[in-house]
Chain A
Amino acid sequence: MELKYNNNDINFTIKSQTINGIICKNIDDITDILRLRYDFSKDIKIDGKKIKENDINEYKRKISIVRKDNLTLNNYNDIYTFMIQYIKSNKIYPKNTDKKIKDSLKIVGLNQDLLNRNINDLSNSEKELLKISVALLSNPELLIIEDPMKGLDLKNQKKLIILFKRMIEQYNKTIVFISTESETIYKYCDEIIVFTNTNVIQGKTKELINKIELLEDNNISIPEIVEFTYLVRKIKDVKIDYYNDIRDIIKDIYKHK
């Protein structure tokens, strides 16, 4: 799904079949646009078409959001009830509900024994993975994840990236990561959209990775690997290249020694 937002001040495109990364100050504002809140929907085109008022709900069903907080989750005691409620309220009609629930847990690497546990007893990482598994229940075309990879160790992060890439390549899905921090976005996204104080900058990660001033001027944290390269160039005038993999930067340092 390609989503294009275009009004006088703000223009950006969520590219189809890509991991898009959005860096912004206020995650909720951007999520409101992407979840097609009524007052924004008039400025949105999906796959090149304007959204008709009557079609908004149909489009909304194709979009799932993994919220950064656990507020919805904390309203429930047991996980099974939470998932059943999600299925009902989102009008999902699986042939076999229990199988659908178990499969959605399995796909993110969670054990089905989890269904018998109390939500309050879950660790933060289990809550993060559970939120993603629930978002996948509706088989969304566009999956939006606020504060992605929060609380997940390297193994779980790698597992999820493999899952997202498979969703993109085999099932033509589109993924959006939204964060106030740049580190995860630079690490995992192919396309980046930065909301600055005055406008929106969009480009391929490779093109934007050296635009330090863009982040600095807008009080956005700079990924450590990018900041290191920037300082080497600035302090020592050594022209090592910008990379987002530490092994590449080591090779370049070795070359410039």
Chain B
Amino acid sequence: MEVILNINNLEYENIFKDLSIYIEKNTITTISGPNNCGKTTLFRILNRDIETNLNIVIDGKNINSYEEKTYDEKIQVVFPNKLFTREKNLIDELRIQNSNIDEEKISFIISELKLKKYQKCEISKLSEKNIILLQIAKAILNSKEIVCIDELDYYFNNEELKKLCQFFYKCIEKYDLTFILSSQKSDLSIYTKYLYIINNGKIALKGESLKVLEKDNILNKIGLELPFMIDLSVKLKDYDLINKIYTDKKELIDALWN
């Protein structure tokens, strides 16, 4: 396992007490937790909006030691709904700040995100969802290593999240990227490899998503709702009606009545 991002014993104001996170390269990791547990603060630290002298390492170097341009190429952090210059059109917004324009990459991203028909559309006329997709497109275009997206599940439903994660996996394969997503619900983590749960400034749970989600007692205590299929499977497993966790409804039904 190659670690691309290390956060070691992070302490910050009253928000984090000894928080450690290791992000595996070429994977998608969800960082979840109850409201106001510090997910957005963590992303602001990664975006260097908040200056710290803390031990956060990307690619073997402390984040503070990178030049701005190099850092922007290493990591892009998306805070959905941040306003763009709205008089630009979508395709111009994607090309801005991008000295070596990779037309093939632009074409792939906007086609996968179903933004092709809005290329010439002014940003002010795009829907909220399409503006966020544009932000994601821009981050993927500009990052060579890590893309972080804050509170993705605030804007997209489960079906849309599933499709977005499928697209992120294609980007991992094609462009050697790593994704870190923050989420208030645990549903998103079903589609990602790893899940970290932050609570009271510390990591409450971590590991492969499905294994973490099985710990329903701890998650409920924290105030996180389990995805329906996980919740149902865990409870049926407790009653010895099934012996594993199912994410697919038809497979679970077959397991119950075959």
- Residues of chain A at the chain B interface (Cβ within 8 Å): 69-70, 74, 123-126, 150-156, 181, 221, 224-225, 227-228, 231-232, 235-236, 238, 246-247, 249-250, 253-254, 257
Chain A: CB-nearest residue to B128 = A69
- Can you list 15 residue pairs at the A/B interface with Cβ under 8 Å? A70-B81, A123-B40, A124-B151, A125-B35, A125-B184, A152-B184, A154-B224, A221-B159, A224-B228, A225-B228, A227-B249, A235-B253, A238-B257, A246-B232, A249-B232
**Any chain A CB within 8 A of the CB of B236?**
yes
Q: Which of B36, B40, B229, B250 contacts A235 (CB 8 A)?
A: B250
- CB neighbours (8 Å) of B207 from chain A are none
Across the interface, which residues of A come within 8 angstroms of B34, CB to CB? 153, 155
Please tell me which one of the listed residues A156, A221, A224, A228 contacts residue B35 in the complex, with CB atoms under 8 A apart: A156
Chain A residues contacting B253 (CB-CB under 8 Å) are 228, 231-232, 235-236
Contact across chains for B81 and A228 when beta carbons are under 8 A apart: no
| Interface residues of B, dominant DSSP | helix
Contact of B239 among A181, A221, A250 (CB under 8 A): A250
Proximity bits, B131-174, A CB within 8 Å = 1, else 0: 00000000000000000000100100101000000000000000
A224 to B233: give the CA distance in the assembly, Å. 13
Given A123-B36, A125-B35, residue A150 in contact with residue B235 (CB < 8 A): no
> A153-B225, A246-B235 known; 14 other A-B pairs, CB under 8 Å?
A123-B35, A123-B36, A125-B36, A126-B35, A151-B35, A151-B151, A156-B35, A221-B157, A224-B228, A224-B229, A228-B232, A235-B253, A246-B232, A254-B239
Leading 7 A-B pairs by shortest Cβ distance: A155-B223, A125-B35, A224-B228, A153-B34, A236-B257, A151-B154, A154-B223
The answer on a CB contact under 8 Å between A150 and B154 is yes
Chain A residue with the shortest CB-CB distance to B232: A246
Q: List residues of chain A with CB within 8 A of the CB of B225.
A: 153-154
The docked-state distance in angstroms from the alpha carbon of A13 to that of B2 is 59
User: B223 to A250, Cβ gap below 8 A?
Assistant: no
Assess whether B249 is in contact with A228, with CB atoms less than 8 Å apart. yes
Q: State the main secondary structure of chain A at its contact with B.
A: helix
B residues whose Cβ falls under 8 Å from a Cβ of A: 34-36, 40, 81, 83, 128, 151, 154, 157, 159, 184-185, 220, 223-225, 228-229, 231-232, 235-236, 239, 241, 249-250, 252-253, 256-257
Q: Smallest distance from the beta carbon of A104 to chain B beta carbons, Å?
A: 19
Chain B residues within 8 Å of A70, by CB: 81
Of listed A152, A154, A228, residue having the most chain B CB within 10 A: A154
Cβ contact within 8 Å between B228 and A152:
no
CB B220 to nearest CB in A, in angstroms, measures 8
- List B contacts of A238 (CB < 8 A): 257
How far, in angstroms, from A125 to B252 measured CA to CA in the complex?
A: 34
Question: Chain A: which residue is nearest B39 at the CB level?
Answer: A123
**Shortest CB distance A151–B (Å):** 5
Check if B241 sits within 8 Å of A153, measured CB to CB.
Answer: no
Residues of B within 8 A of A228 (CB): 228, 232, 249, 252-253
CB atoms of A126 and B249 under 8 A apart: no
Report B130 CB to chain A, min CB distance, Å. Answer: 14
B138 to chain A: closest CB distance in Å?
A: 20
Residues of A within 8 A of B185 (CB): 153
Q: Whole-angstrom distance between the alpha carbons of A155 and B34 in the complex?
A: 8
Most buried by A among B151, B184, B185: B184
Judge whether A253 and B256 touch: CB under 8 Å: yes
Which of A153, A221, A236 touches B224 (beta carbons < 8 Å)?
A153
Q: Report how far A224 CA is from B256 CA in the complex, Å.
A: 17
Alpha-carbon distance A156/B156, docked complex (angstroms): 20
Contact A153 B236, beta carbon cutoff 8 Å: no
For residue A192, give the distance in angstroms from its CB to the closest CB of chain B: 19
Tell whether, in the assembled complex, residue B36 and residue A126 are in contact, meaning their CB atoms are under 8 Å apart. Answer: yes
- Taking the closest CB of chain A, its distance from the CB of B217, in whole angstroms, is 14
Contact B223 A253 (CB under 8 A): no
CA distance A231 to B252 in the complex (A): 11
Q: How far is the CB of B231 from chain A (nearest CB, A)?
A: 6
Name the B residues within 8 Å of A249 (CB-CB).
Answer: 232
User: Which residues on the A side are within 8 Å of B239 (C-beta)?
Assistant: 250, 254
